[in-house]
Each structure stands twice: as C-alpha cells, then as structure tokens.
Amino acid sequence: MLLSELETIDRVSEIEAAEWDELAPAGYPFLRHGFLSALEDSGSVMPATGWQGAHRLLRSGGRAQAILPLYLKQHSWGEYVFDWQWAEAWERAGHRYYPKYVAAIPFSPVQGPRLLARDASAALKVLGSLEEALAAQEVSSLHLLFNDGSEDAWLKDGGWLQRLGCQFHWVNRDYRSFDDFLAACNSRKRKNFRKERQAVAGQGIEFRWLAGPEIGAADWQRFYSFYAATYLKRGRRPYLTPEFFVLLGERLPHTPRLVFAHHQGRDVAGALFLAGSDTLYGRYWGCLEEYDNLHFETCFYQGMERCIEEGLQRFDAGAQGEHKLLRGFEPVLTQSWHRLQPGLHEAVADFLTQERAGIRAYARDALSYLPYRRAE
C-alpha cells in the first residue's frame, strides 16, 4: 500500500496545473487551476486582503488524491454567505471568531464541487485535518460554501450544519431564439420584455460581444473601468485587480465572454460572463453613465440570447436580485456547510433549522412571480 501525505499549500501555483486539473471538472471554470491561480498571482487573493491560502493537498505515489481550495480568513467579505451575526455573538461571549477556515471560490457565489477527491477515503482524510484544526482551536469555525452536493454525505456524517440560500437562474428550454422564450411567457410579460428592450435600442445603444481569444489586453483594460465603477460608486475598493482579468484571459482563454454597450461612438457599459460546459455565468458589470433599462439588457437579456446562441442550458446571473424572477429566472436552492466551536455550533444549529424552513417557503412562494404561461 502506498503511503499518503497531506500537505498545506500557501499558493495554488505551488501545484502544477496538470496535477490540479486532473481532479477538477473541465466544464466548471471556477475550480480550474487557471482561475484560482489568477486570483492569487494578481494580488486579488492574498494575506494582505484577508485571504490566506491554506489549500489541502493529499498525495499518494506522487499523484494527487484530493485537493481542497481553502483559505484562512480574517473577515467575512467576498463570501456571499453571511455570518456576521455569528461572529458578533461569539465575540460577545468573549471568544475570537477570526480566523476561520473557508473552502470557497473567492468572490464567486457559484454552485459546484469544492472537495476534489478520487475516493471517500481521500476526502475523509482531508476533512479530518480540518476537524483537527477546529478541535485544537486554531480556528473558530469551518465553512464550505456553495457546494453542489457531491460532498454532502461526508459532511453530514461529520456533523456539519447545512445552510440554505436562494438564487435565481434562467433555464434554456431548447429555445431557438429569444422569441421562443417570449412565446413561453404570458402576454403581459411579453409586452414588458419588448418594451424594456426597445427602450434600450431607442436610445441608440448597440452591443458587441467578444469571446475567448478575441479578447485582448485593451479590452480587459476597458472592461475594468466599468467593473471598478460599480464598487467606487458605493465607496468601496474593487475586490479584483486589473491583472486578474488579464491572467484569466491567458489561463482560461476559451472561457470568458465580454459584452460592451456602445453609444454614440464610445463604450458606456460592459459585462463579463464565463462559459462552462452547460452554464453561462454572469459575473461582473458596470456603467459610467445611467441609461433606461441598460442593466437589464446588458446583464440579463444579452446573456439569455448568448445562452441560446451557444446552446447552454442554464444562465446563472449571480447572487440575489428578486427582479430576476419577473424576467424568467427561477428560484434555485443553494447550500453551504458549517462546523463551529462547541456552544456556538449548537446555537447556530437551532437558528439554521428555522432559517431552512423559511428559505424553502420563500422559494416556493417565488414561483408564483414567474412570467411563464400557465398550463390550462
């Protein structure tokens, strides 16, 4: 029997891309070596920004058996699963909530696998190392965010707590055109969609798409001004540096999609999407000037048309946003898992029992707001 060795890696780049990507699903860009290393190598994710790499790597016979992207966090920003109240309660009780361990894709609330393992034995060895850190009180808590369910059995057996959330995703039901989607909607909503799109076209705004290798350094620079504007308008610094987008284009060259809104000879807005094997992910957008319905057109309708054009089955346009319901985005339950120090763990468990019931009721109620025609 080959002996296995568990390592803690500070940076994704310490592991060869080929070794990492052998375990990562090819159709899910956020767990690819190129995406995660671009975050670190660009300075977007590093100890100075509160994200200290502590990635777990289990090797046997010189071959990776399990990988877990893991960060030692000094805050809760950029996670989209909000535990500020947990932190406040634990600190009121006289304890430190930070640091904590977070297994997540930084700044990306997108469902997918988190623990990459060849078998259950390898997975449990990695999870066991986290539980040892918790027992030694090296951290206050363990968090695995936005997983797709592939790790659920291991986490349940380990006593982790499930937390539910709700997002809104659009489903491409083999539409051949946007008009096919409109035909599936009731007449009042069809009129509203056409009115919103005509309002944008009536302002003389046109759209230009760039895909994969078509995107050059100047395009990324132009897009960054829109991305940064979204944060600066709120008095916040952007999470991502300009270098991240350039590295993303170099390391995952066939994944990015950019769309620019063009008005009177200049670009006035832009949005970034990433394409997986069956899903289009809407990530970031921004504008320098306000135009009627420009956000809906750029981030939603353009993305829906792109899904149809590329034959992608689902459009994940990002977290939150009940306004998506009225535009055909259906409620989808998301989940995360948590293990905390004794005392806090039991209190959070009681809270999550009630919260899960509320989230499920919310998702059921949200269905009534969808624009689709009802069967007679």
Integer Cα distance of 196 and 211 in angstroms: 26
According to DSSP, residue 341 is labeled: -
Q: What is the DSSP letter of 297?
A: I
DSSP state of 185: B
- Number of Cβ within 10 Å of residue 186's Cβ equals 13
| DSSP code, position 317 | -
- Domain spanning 4-166+332-367: CATH superfamily: Gcn5-related N-acetyltransferase (GNAT) (3.40.630.30)
Q: Do domains 4-166+332-367 and 173-312 have the same CATH topology?
A: yes
Cα gap 247→240, rounded to integer Å: 12
Q: Supply 302's token pair.
A: 């353009």
The SS3 call for residue 375 is coil
pTM of the model: 0.94
Please tell me the predicted confidence (pLDDT) of residue 235: 85
Residue spans of beta strands (DSSP E) within the chain: 4-9, 51-53, 55-60, 63-68, 71-73, 100-103, 116-117, 141-145, 161-171, 205-211, 256-263, 266-275, 279-287, 314-316, 330-340
Element at 363 (helix H, strand E): helix 344-366
- Find, among 274, 300, 288, 311, the residue nearest to 229 by Cα: 288
Q: How many CB atoms lie within 10 A of CB 25?
A: 17
Q: Where are the beta strands (DSSP E) in 39-120?
A: 51-53, 55-60, 63-68, 71-73, 100-103, 116-117
Burial environment of residue 240 by CB neighbours within 10 A (0 to 12, 13 to 18, 19 or more): buried
Q: What are phi and psi of 163, to 5 degrees?
A: -120, 135
The domain spans of the chain are 4-166+332-367, 173-312
List the pLDDT tens digit at each of the 376 positions of the chain.
Answer: 355 699 999 999 999 999 999 999 999 999 999 999 999 999 999 999 999 999 999 999 889 999 999 999 999 999 999 999 999 999 999 999 999 999 999 999 999 999 999 999 999 999 999 999 999 999 999 999 999 999 999 999 999 999 999 999 999 999 999 999 999 999 999 999 999 999 999 999 999 999 999 999 999 999 999 999 988 888 888 999 999 999 999 999 999 999 999 999 999 999 999 999 999 999 999 998 889 999 999 999 999 999 999 999 999 998 878 899 999 999 999 999 999 999 999 999 999 999 999 999 999 999 999 999 986 4
**What amino acid occupies position 309?**
E
User: CATH says 173-312 is which class?
Assistant: alpha beta
Q: How would you label 64-93 residue by residue, b for 16+ Cβ within 10 Å and e otherwise? A: bbbbbbbbbbeebebbbbebeebbebbeee
Which DSSP symbol is given to 9? Answer: E
CA–CA separation, 296 and 305 (whole Å): 13
State how far the Cα of 314 lies from the Cα of 311, in Å rounded to an integer: 9
- The angle that helices 217-232 and 242-251 make with each other, rounded to 10 degrees, is 140
Q: 237 exposed, middle or buried (CB, 10 Å; 0-12, 13-18, 19+)?
A: exposed
Question: What pLDDT, on a 0 to 100 scale, did the predictor assign at position 376?
Answer: 46
Q: Do residues 253 and 34 touch, judged by C-beta distance below 8 A?
A: no
Structure tokens at 282: 């809407």
- Taking the CA atoms of the chain, what radius of gyration do you get in angstroms? 22
Alpha-carbon dihedral angle through residues 235, 238, 239, 245, given to the nearest 10 degrees? 170
* Number of other residues whose CB lies within 10 A of the CB of residue 162: 15
Nearest alpha-carbon partner for 112 in 69, 162, 73, 156? 69
Nearest residue to 85 (alpha-carbon basis) of 319, 341, 348, 334? 348
